[in-house]
Chains A and B, each alone.
Chain A
């Protein structure tokens, strides 16, 4: 494994100025992404998953948004403090992104061939014949049959799953180092979802592309990711391997998420437990753990000082004071 991470995010702060005050949408988020690795980011709506992705892409709309602090490096190169023209060269070629709704993320009035070749021509500087050739190869690679004949089709002539395949083809057209999939399968039905996940996994593997997989679906994340970061209220509250997180959850929120998710190996009479309460208001600084008001595992320390990042095991960290070892599944490492 490479020593240097492909993408490194350090202390990222993204804020939005709103009428009610400054919203800390992303609060001191740090993570590293290795080549070929799939990192999952999970959390509920408004937890800062998408804003984190947009911050990495430098697509936070300013105003009202602003990346106010932190460092983002791609292959050791600062990509946060660069101008728009440089950012444009990176977007699509070295970091690409696919979005939640494949029905809406393709331009409806351009043929998909045009949309593919535009990106290829812009970033790789290929002529139209070579771009076309590459577009055909890409469409075949993402499993679109008779790719050559479909270049002239418009997005509405494709189904949702096929459109997401086209989006993936576009995103991978320039062999990016990092692919960000923001809820990429949420709008698709389960079978298509499984196909898309397999596809992304396979392609990322073949091309050694690192993937950030953003989802609120723990099942999907378990299926595709190597490591998972759990976000709550704009912070990463726990991060570890999929195994760590599912078998040895070390944050009250992760535990709550797991308890509220159905599993195939559940006992028949297990009831799903919702997490009571609402996510906190993100305006203004928070002195204690943001999950504290909803946490059923809180101990005295939680009410005294804000949680610090601590290692539970190698590569498994949490921002929680409570010892949740009694909930861990037996027999697992």
Chain B
């Protein structure tokens, strides 16, 4: 059904495709992946809740109200209340602001530093590559969380320091991934062909190499993003992240742990938040990886009624 139709499609049907940008086509691919779509919606809701926390949350996240302490979930307190009578649901919403912001900053800084290092190292190679990679190796020898604990321990427990600590740990990860992808992309025939056509090193790096290694970077971004949420929660759990009374998923878990036998529902909110966030990010990562690479498009679109000119049509000219 799809094939004879697309064969018949005249030039005007194809014309539409021309004006559709790569971003449009990629997002179309992404939409087809239901898990990724669901993940995206969930993460979007989390972000929305974090941004609109002031208006969305039913209570004040830090207001103590001992008269309602340790209440089980009810209509007025969906996730119950903690030892100080604070509404858990409210604190989960506010905690998302901290967790997502920290994760976003960690990703931003580690990409901003790690990707250029990897590109330089892989593209220029030689001594520079050696020096940069040995430095990265040195960072990688530390257990990531321990290094973060040490850095925060040195600089004091503060969210800014948590971001710095987690970003430092992730820089070498990006650098290594980008470097190895660059090394293999650099040897591709189309890079030599681009050089033979007079492309500048700048263009070779950006449209030749970087464009082709976007998918490993994006996948790594989602992994780091998810990891940063967990790491921030861990640091806060250990008391090194956000400080009381500020809400944070990790901190609230740590508080809830003390009342685990009396009020186990205290755990549910933060745990659910962390889990759903991380899971949806992972789904998004999978979806992005598939949709960012035009080479994987055909296999998927061929099955659907996508307007695509079949290969080889018109080769007779």
Residues of A within 8 A of B (CB): 57, 59, 88-93, 96-101, 104-111, 113, 118-119, 122-123, 143-146, 148-154, 156-159, 161-162, 167, 170-171, 192
Contact = CB atoms under 8 A, between A and B. Distances in A.
Nearest to A85: B200
Interface stretch (B217-225, B242-250, B305-313): B305-313
B317 A122 contact: no
Contact of B211 (A107, A146, A162, A192): A107
A119 B199 CA distance: 8
Contacts of A98: 193
Contacts of B308: 157
Nearest to B15: A149
B190 A88 contact: no
A118 B203 contact: yes
B211 A109 contact: yes
29 contacts: A88-B198, A92-B199, A104-B189, A104-B190, A105-B189, A106-B193, A107-B190, A107-B194, A108-B190, A109-B293, A110-B211, A111-B22, A118-B203, A122-B203, A144-B314, A145-B313, A145-B314, A146-B11, A146-B314, A149-B17, A153-B17, A153-B309, A154-B294, A154-B295, A158-B311, A159-B312, A161-B315, A167-B193, A170-B197
Nearest to A140: B317
Contacts of B315: 159, 161-162, 192
A118 B199 CA distance: 9
Interface string B275-317: 0000000000000000001110110000000001101111101
A99 B189 contact: yes
Contacts of B211: 107, 109-110
Contacts of B196: 57, 59, 91-92, 96-97, 99
A261 B217 CA distance: 50
B213 to A, nearest CB: 10
Task: Give the interface size bracket for B toward A.
Answer: 35 or more
A68 to B, nearest CB: 21
Given A118-B203, A151-B18, A104 B197 contact: no
B122 interface: no
List 7 tightest A-B contacts by C-beta distance, closest first: A92-B198, A92-B197, A149-B14, A152-B18, A145-B314, A91-B198, A104-B189
A148 B18 contact: yes
Contacts of A151: 18
Contacts of B214: 109
B62 interface: no
B8 interface: no
Contacts of B190: 104-108
B294 A109 contact: yes
Contacts of A170: 197
Contacts, number: 119
B195 interface: yes
B20 interface: yes
A153 to B, nearest CB: 7
Nearest to B194: A107
A108 B193 contact: no
A97 B312 CA distance: 24
A91 B196 CA distance: 6
B215 to A, nearest CB: 9
B55 interface: no
B192 interface: yes
Given A107-B194, A157-B308, A122 B199 contact: yes
A89 B314 contact: no
Contacts of A88: 198-200
Contacts of B193: 97-99, 105-106, 167
Contacts of B130: none
Contacts of A146: 11, 14, 314
Interface in B1-31: 11, 14-15, 17-20, 22
Given A109-B294, A148-B15, A149-B14, A159 B311 contact: yes
A153 B19 CA distance: 10
Contact of A156 (B203, B298, B314): B298
